[in-house]
């Protein structure tokens, strides 16, 4: 069911194949602060219902934000007492809440999960004092088949990754649907149930992959190998549209992006454990900062990784970062074990980093910092300490810390080179392209950023539009997605030096870019520099991948000139290989 005018949240139920329905819990606004939601396109949380002649199976109920709407719609579709099994594709406390509410109304349900998933679920049941009795669990280790009747045969595909160690995907022989759980998803919300072109959400799917999959490319590659055994005609992920026809190209996209990650010459081992999800969220943001700077990340969930896996990851990496919660004034045992392996095996030349979250104290972070300092390691960023849940500003700081860490690794391996004196004719010619010196400023809620820019060009008359080239490792890049807004401040010749110095200097992660620079707030919420020659209020329309830069196309919605007699400061270059 789809309401005529979408509310902030609703539920859409669609019959997608024989005896098979998708229940799409929809949020048209951003649900969380995690970097995977940064495009702010909303999201869907897809659950699937298969009615066989003998068994009725529900696959992956949604999270707590959708619980009541979901259960009401499910009960409208089918009596809850007819559901025989719930397949848990991945385990987290948010979805566990909905599972508990379902079990209260339908205690006959059997849970189907992977072996690691059963361990995680038992831990959640043990921690929940008011939970119903733990139901029967059918543990799938791979190659098992569940016959539902009416021709539906479910093949179970274990899909463990560091982020989702209990991952379990399902293939239905009758409908040729691969229920791919977290794989092949995007965070968008709309009426389209299927993506058949493969081009509808290219930017969204790459962002989703970069945030969630890039750091576990080795494990993702193994899962893709398993998927290839099954002739799927539809991919049914838990987020975004279902994929068929041209949309199935997303499988090949994952292969290509995995190769890019696995072929990187520099990589970082990011080790973590997470008690309530906050440390894992910080880890995700740091990973995103590293990968967007062109360095690979290998995520290691210390709660499930073996000692040998940790040692091998450290041996492959040029640096390592370790994150921990504080439990009872201590680091959890898996982190203490990982720390011991680091101190015994990691080279002292490897760059180090520490982060963590805590409720009332942060002793685990202090322990990690002290031990690594005493071990002679150099830190790539100041330790990150987060009390309670991270905010959007905190996550932006983590992204910037990851980028700084990656850039420091690059400098270690490749010292800064002087401008070449033997530039080619092509490089010299490209260098003659002149750009207006400008400062791009952004403020979104509690997050602000700025950068000096000279690769600026008018792109259209009607509507008035322009392009801005932004290096992929710039901190501001993550704030310049379609529909976001910013201000382009054009600098004035003769008055531009102080502003250049301010915005050219290096900033620590999370540091205020503006300092004592005089600003006022534009209508779109971003800062206007008072000493600029002119400004334009802009809205991002699109962005294009251009190698080591993003090309941002935006509309200019408002603007003004402060000094009509002034001249725009211009940046002249010697060669096209440097700013």
Q: What is the CB neighbour count within 10 angstroms for residue 525? A: 15
Nearest to 148 by CA among 103, 85, 90: 85
Q: Residue 349, exposed/middle/buried by CB under 10 A (0-12, 13-18, 19+)?
A: exposed
Contact yes or no for 355/381 (Cβ under 8 A): no
Domain ranges of the chain: 9-260, 264-413, 425-571
Contact yes or no for 463/539 (Cβ under 8 A): no
Pairing outcome for strands 234-237 and 177-181: parallel
Q: pLDDT at residue 19 above 90?
A: yes
Contact yes or no for 238/45 (Cβ under 8 A): yes
Task: Give whole-number Cα distances, 285 to 154, 288, 339, 341, 396, in Å.
Answer: 36, 5, 22, 24, 7
Overall average pLDDT of the 390-408 stretch: 94
pLDDT of residue 460: 94
Range in 195-209, 227-241, 549-563 the model is least confident about: 195-209
Q: Domain 9-260 maps to which CATH number in 3.90.1560.10, 2.40.50.100, 3.60.15.10, 3.30.1360.200? A: 3.60.15.10
pLDDT single digits (tens) 91-112: 998 899 999 999 999 999 999 9
Cβ partners under 8 Å of residue 332, min gap 6:
273, 275, 303, 324, 325, 364
Query: Buried (b) or exposed (e) across 94-104, using 16+ Cβ within 10 A?
Result: bbbbbbbbbbe
pLDDT single digits (tens) 252-307: 999 999 999 999 999 999 999 998 889 999 999 999 999 999 999 999 999 999 99
Q: pLDDT at residue 187 above 90?
A: yes
Q: What is the CB neighbour count within 10 angstroms for residue 191? A: 11
The class (CATH top level) of 425-571 is mainly beta
The class (CATH top level) of 264-413 is alpha beta
Beta bridge partners of 21: 15, 49
Could you tell me the pLDDT band of residue 130, with boundaries at 50, 70 and 90? confident
pLDDT of residue 4: 38
pLDDT of residue 216: 96
The 3-class secondary structure across 367-402, one letter per residue, is HHHHHHHHCCCCECCCCEEEECCCCHHHHHHHHHHH
pLDDT of residue 5: 40
Q: pLDDT at residue 421 above 80?
A: no
Q: pLDDT at residue 507 above 80?
A: yes
pLDDT single digits (tens) 313-324: 999 999 999 999
Could you tell me the pLDDT band of residue 7, with boundaries at 50, 70 and 90? low
- Rounded-to-integer distance, Cα 11 and Cα 1, Å: 7
pLDDT of residue 418: 53
Task: Give whole-number Cα distances, 518 to 348, 472, 525, 531, in Å.
Answer: 44, 28, 15, 7
Task: Give whole-number Cα distances, 112 to 135, 136, 143, 172, 352, in Å.
Answer: 10, 9, 14, 15, 40
Contact yes or no for 390/34 (Cβ under 8 A): no
Nearest to 438 by CA among 467, 459, 409: 467
Nearest to 532 by CA among 579, 578, 489, 478: 489
And the tokens for 440? 């791009």
Range in 38-42, 51-55, 61-65 the model is least confident about: 38-42
């Amino acid at each position: 069911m789809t309401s005529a005018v979408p509310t902030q949240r609703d539920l859409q139920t669609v019959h997608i194949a024989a005896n098979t329905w998708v229940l799409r819990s929809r949020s048209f606004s951003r649900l969380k602060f995690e970097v995977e939601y940064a495009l702010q396109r909303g999201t869907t949380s897809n659950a699937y219902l298969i009615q066989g002649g003998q068994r009725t199976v529900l696959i992956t109920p949604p999270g707590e934000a959708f619980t009541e709407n979901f259960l009401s719609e499910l009960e409208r579709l089918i009596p809850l007492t007819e559901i025989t099994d719930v397949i848990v594709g991945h385990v987290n406390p948010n979805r566990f809440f909905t599972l508990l509410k379902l079990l209260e109304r339908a205690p006959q349900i059997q849970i189907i999960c992977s072996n690691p998933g059963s361990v995680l679920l038992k831990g959640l049941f043990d921690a929940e004092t008011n939970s119903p009795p733990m139901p029967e669990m059918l543990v799938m280790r791979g190659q098992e088949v569940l016959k539902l009747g009416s021709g539906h045969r479910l093949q179970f595909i274990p899909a463990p990754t560091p982020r989702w160690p209990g991952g379990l995907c399902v293939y239905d022989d009758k409908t040729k649907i691969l229920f791919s759980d977290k794989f092949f998803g995007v965070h968008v919300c709309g009426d389209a149930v299927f993506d058949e072109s493969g081009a509808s959400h290219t930017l969204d799917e790459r962002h989703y992959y970069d945030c969630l999959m890039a750091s576990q490319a080795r494990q993702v590659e193994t899962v893709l190998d398993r998927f290839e055994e099954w002739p799927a005609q539809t991919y049914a992920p838990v987020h975004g549209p279902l994929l068929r026809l041209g949309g199935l190209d997303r499988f090949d996209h994952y292969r290509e992006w995995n190769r890019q990650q696995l072929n990187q010459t520099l990589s970082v081992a990011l080790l973590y454990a997470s008690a309530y999800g906050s440390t894992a969220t910080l880890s995700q943001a740091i990973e995103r900062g590293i990968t967007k700077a062109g360095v690979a990340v290998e995520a290691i969930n210390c709660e499930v990784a073996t000692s040998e896996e940790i040692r091998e990851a450290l041996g492959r990496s040029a640096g390592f970062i370790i994150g921990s919660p504080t439990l009872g004034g201590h680091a959890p045992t898996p982190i203490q074990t990982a720390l011991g392996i680091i101190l015994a095996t990691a080279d002292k030349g490897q760059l180090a980093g520490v982060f963590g979250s805590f409720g009332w104290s942060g002793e685990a972070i202090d322990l990690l910092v002290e031990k690594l300092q005493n071990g002679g390691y150099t830190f790539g960023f100041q330790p990150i300490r987060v009390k309670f849940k991270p905010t959007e500003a905190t996550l932006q700081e983590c992204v910037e810390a990851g980028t700084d860490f990656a850039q420091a690794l690059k400098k270690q391996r490749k010292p800064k080179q002087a401008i070449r004196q033997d530039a080619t004719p092509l490089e010299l010619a490209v260098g003659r392209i002149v750009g207006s010196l400008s400062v791009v400023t952004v403020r979104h809620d509690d997050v602000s950023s700025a950068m000096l820019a000279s690769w600026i060009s008018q792109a259209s008359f009607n509507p008035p539009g322009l392009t801005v080239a932004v290096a992929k490792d710039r901190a501001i890049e993550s704030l310049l997605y379609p529909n976001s807004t910013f201000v382009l401040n054009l600098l004035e010749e003769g008055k531009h030096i102080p502003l250049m110095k301010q915005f050219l200097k290096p900033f620590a992660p999370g540091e205020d870019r503006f300092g004592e620079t005089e600003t006022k707030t534009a209508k779109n919420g971003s800062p206007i520099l008072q000493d600029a020659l002119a400004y334009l209020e802009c809205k991002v329309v699109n962005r294009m991948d251009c190698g080591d830069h993003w090309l941002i196309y935006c509309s200019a919605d408002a603007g003004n000139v402060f000094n009509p007699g002034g001249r725009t400061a211009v940046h002249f270059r010697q060669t096209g290989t440097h700013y």
